[in-house]
Amino acid sequence: MAEVKILVEGYTSDESNDEKTCPTITLIKDKSINLVVDPGVLEDQKILIDKLKENGLSIDDIDVVCITHSHIDHYRNIGMFPNAKTLEYFGLWDKNTVTDWEENFTDDIKIIKTPGHNYDGITLLVSSDIGVIAVCGDVFWKENYPKNDPYASDKGKLEESRTKILQSADFIIPGHAGIYKVKK
């Protein structure tokens, strides 16, 4: 089983005119892989460095950085990890080389395409000791987020992606809040 830990709980003040946002930044440890999802935007990168240190890791210990979709609030800090591969919709990048990713990234991490909020959305379905955790970026912004995503590129595809996640996961780590249990 993989370990999943929220390093930085995301937030958004999207409902106001003075928008502030930070994605939920997640650490996944699976066997010999240390993976960070959506390193996002922070007021200070030291916040993420310190959170990794609390988990016995440094920037150099991260093997893969995953970007759930191509909105800058989710990927701006990707350059903090110069030795890590990058996992995103179009492939697995190792410096300037890209290869296709396998849906079964590891025995405990499955990658699924989840378009709708943006055309290039992916979700990680992670088998953990508490069940399957979907790390899904902005497919869900937070628990009880309004059904109508004002930034959705395709509302129909977003609903399909949400249904797929709700059927596959026991817990959701959304794009801008803490983990919550799927109501089945």
Label residue 80 exposed, middle or buried (CB < 10 Å: 0-12, 13-18, 19+): middle
Domains annotated on the chain, with CATH: 3-181 (3.60.15.10)
- pLDDT tens digit sequence for 95-151: 999 999 999 999 999 999 999 999 999 999 999 999 999 999 999 999 987 788 888
pLDDT higher than threshold 60 for residue 163: yes
Res 124: pLDDT: 98
- Residue 184 CA to residue 14 CA, distance in Å, equals 28
Task: Kindly state the average pLDDT of the residues 7-32.
Answer: 88
* Nearest of 107, 177, 105, 184 to residue 137 by alpha carbon: 177
Q: Which residues sit opposite 21 in a β-bridge?
A: 12
54: left (phi over 0), alpha (psi -120 to 50) or beta: alpha
